[in-house]
Amino acid sequence: MEPINIMVNGIPGNVAVQVATHVQADDRFSLVPYSLTGPEIESGAHRMNGVDIQLIRPEHRDGVIQEIQAAYASFISIDFTHPSAVNPNAEFYCRHRLPFVMGTTGGDRERLDATVRAAAIPAVIAPNMAKQIVGFQAMMAYAADHFPGLFEGYSLDIRESHQQGKADTSGTAKAMVSYFNRLGCDFSEEAIVKERDPETQKNRWGIPEEYLSGHAWHTYTLTSPDQTTTFSFTHNVNGREIYVRGTLDAVDFLADQVGRGVQGRVFTMIDVLKGAS
C-alpha cells in the first residue's frame, strides 16, 4: 500500500512541527516538503531531520501550489496555523481541491463548514484532535440530549489554561458550554476563565514547568444552588502527543473518504472515532 502524502501547514509552529516529525517517522505517510506559513515568517525553509521544508508565505501560495500538485498526484493537508488564517486557508484548500484536516481553532466556524459543503472535497474539522477528550465530549453531548435540564439552577465555572502563545479561547471549552447550557446551566462563552500567564500557571495551577510551553488544562465545576453539592470534570493534557496521534488517525480516515469519492462533506473527530471502530 502506497503511503499517504501529507502536507503539514503551520511550520515552524510547535504543533505543526511535532505533527510533521511524526509523519516523517511513520511508514504509513510521506511528508510533502512544503508548508504554508504566516506572513510574519521571514525564513524560506525549516530543516527537519535532514529535510528542508520550504515555507510558503500567503502571497506566493496560489502559484507554488500548482508546482506541488504537479509533483504529488494527491495529498492531504493538515492545518495547525493561526485562528486568523482558518477561513482564508479553508477557502484556499477548497479552491485547489485539497482535502484537509483542520486542527486550528477560531475563525468563523459556520463559514468554514459552508465553504467545505460547497466544495468538491471532504475535510475533517475539529476544535480538538485528542480522541479521548472528543469521546468525553460525546458523553456530555449524550447527557445533554437525554437528560436536558439535569443541572437546572446549578452555577457553572469553566477554567482553561494553555500556553502563552495560544491566541484564542479553547475551542473545546467553548464546545462544552453548549452541552452545559442544554443541561440547564445559564453560562456564556465570555465567562470562561482563560489563563495564559506562565507564572500563574506554574505557581497557582501547579502545571509542570517543562509543559508551560505546551499544555491544555480544563476544569468544569458545577455547584448546586444551596452550595451543598459540587460536581467537577477535569482533563489535563501536558505536551501535544495526544493531539498528534488523533490528527494522524483523522488523516487515515479522510484518505479513505477521498478514495470513496466523497465530496462537500465536513467530518468531525466523532466520525473518525466511529470509523475507527
Topology (CATH) of 4-121: Rossmann fold (3.40.50)
Which residue bears the cell 512544503? Answer: 34
- Please give the average per-residue pLDDT across 35-44, as a whole number: 95
pLDDT digits (tens, 9 = 90+) for 155-193: 999 999 999 988 888 888 998 999 999 999 999 999 999
Based on the residue annotation, tell me whether 162 is a catalytic residue of this protein: yes
In the structure grid, which three cell numbers stand for residue 248, read together? 494522524
Q: What is the pLDDT, as a whole number, of residue 73?
A: 85
- Residue intervals in the chain for CATH 3.40.50.720: 4-121
| Architecture (CATH level 2) of domain 131-238 | 2-Layer Sandwich (3.30)
Whether this model's pTM surpasses 0.95: no
Alpha helices in the chain (DSSP H): 14-25, 61-71, 86-95, 109-117, 131-146, 171-182, 198-200, 241-259, 269-276
Single out the catalytic residue among 166, 174, 215, 218: 166
The band of 277, judged by pLDDT with boundaries at 50, 70 and 90, is: very low
Using alpha carbons only, what angle is made at residue 87 by residues 248 and 117, rounded to the nearest 5 degrees?
Answer: 75
Quick one: cell of 28? 504509513
Catalytic residue among 22, 46, 82, 162: 162
Instruction: Name the segment(s) of the chain with CATH classification 3.30.360.10.
Output: 131-238
Based on the residue annotation, tell me whether 166 is a catalytic residue of this protein: yes
Beta-carbon neighbour count of residue 150 at 10 Å? 15
Separation CA 91–CA 139 (nearest Å): 32
